[in-house]
Amino acid sequence: MSLATQFYTMLAMISMGSFFGATLDTYNRFLKRGSRKRLIVFINDVLFWLLQGLLIFYILFLVNFGEIRFYIFVALLCGFAAYQALMKTTYLKLLEISIDLIVAIANYISHLFMTIVYSPIKWLVILLITVVFWMGKALYALVQTILKVLLLMVKILFKPIIWIVQLLWRAIPTSIKKIIEKSYNLIAGNVKKATNKTISGLKTILKIFKR
């Protein structure tokens, strides 16, 4: 390994040490260990350390094709220590400012969406439903009125016919009336018996199929 490669490796590992410190603080800021279950914290920790290890090795591979030397760990430690001593406070402040800014922008976009898009659509749908409802009620009332008028017209039209039938019925001799009544009762009785037999037969068939 040439001297230049070693120098670049040192710089890269110092940078990765500082980057690791920043990512660790960011990870802890968003993880909120106190409010998480231990299993979730454990899984997140494993994934975080695995990702950091892969990233560091990838950078190392780009710089010196993955050759590991003792000074690499020293450089990582120096970078991490430099971050803790010089950059941590500033970074955490910038991180909080960035989070607050992103949250404010997200809230503003959400409020804008609710005001410009959601609320007009909601009130438009409510208005449409109200109009349809009142139109339905008006149509129902109109149909009821028309039916009442038609029924009244039918009654008026058939009233003379009913009177004529009643007069004719009164004019029929009593003996003929009795014959008509007997015939009507006989037909009605036969129809009733046939209906009862049909229903009984259907019940029997259904019982057979249920078995």
Digit-coded pLDDT (tens) for 67-77: 777 878 888 89
Boundaries of domain holding 184: 173-211
Average pLDDT over residues 35-56: 86
Q: Give the up-direction half-sphere exposure of residue 207: CA atoms within 13 A in the CB hemisphere.
A: 6
Q: What's residue 25's pLDDT?
A: 87
Q: Which residue has the higher pLDDT, 32 or 138?
A: 138
Tally of domains in the chain: 2
184 lies in the same domain as 92:
no
Q: Distance (Å, rounded) from C-alpha 163 to C-alpha 140? A: 34
Q: Distance (Å, rounded) from C-alpha 7 to C-alpha 136? A: 83
User: Using an 8 Å Cβ cutoff, are 68 and 60 in contact?
Assistant: yes
* Residue type present at position 76: L
Q: What's residue 6's pLDDT?
A: 74
16 lies in the same domain as 101:
yes
Domain annotation covers residue 72: yes
Q: What's residue 169's pLDDT?
A: 67
Q: Is the pLDDT of residue 1 over 80?
A: no
Q: Is the pLDDT of residue 177 over 80?
A: no
Q: Is the pLDDT of residue 209 over 70?
A: no
- Residue 127 pLDDT grade (very low, low, confident, very high; cuts 50, 70, 90): very high
Average pLDDT over residues 51-65: 84
Domain annotation covers residue 85: yes
Domain annotation covers residue 190: yes
Q: Which residue has the higher pLDDT, 182 or 18?
A: 18
Domain annotation covers residue 152: no
Domain annotation covers residue 201: yes
Residue after which a domain boundary falls, among 59, 84, 107: 107
Question: Whole-number mean pLDDT of the chain?
Answer: 84
18 lies in the same domain as 100:
yes
Reference 73, options 7, 3, 14; nearest CA is 14
Residue after which a domain boundary falls, among 55, 87, 107: 107
Q: What's residue 38's pLDDT?
A: 83
If you ran DSSP here, which 8-state letter would residue 172 be given? S
Domain annotation covers residue 160: no
- Residue 157 pLDDT grade (very low, low, confident, very high; cuts 50, 70, 90): confident
Q: Distance (Å, rounded) from C-alpha 176 to C-alpha 53? A: 113
Average pLDDT over residues 132-136: 91
- Residue 106 pLDDT grade (very low, low, confident, very high; cuts 50, 70, 90): very high
In 33-97, the DSSP E strands lie at none
Domain annotation covers residue 182: yes
Q: Distance (Å, rounded) from C-alpha 115 to C-alpha 73? A: 55
Residue after which a domain boundary falls, among 87, 107, 127: 107
Q: What's residue 208's pLDDT?
A: 67
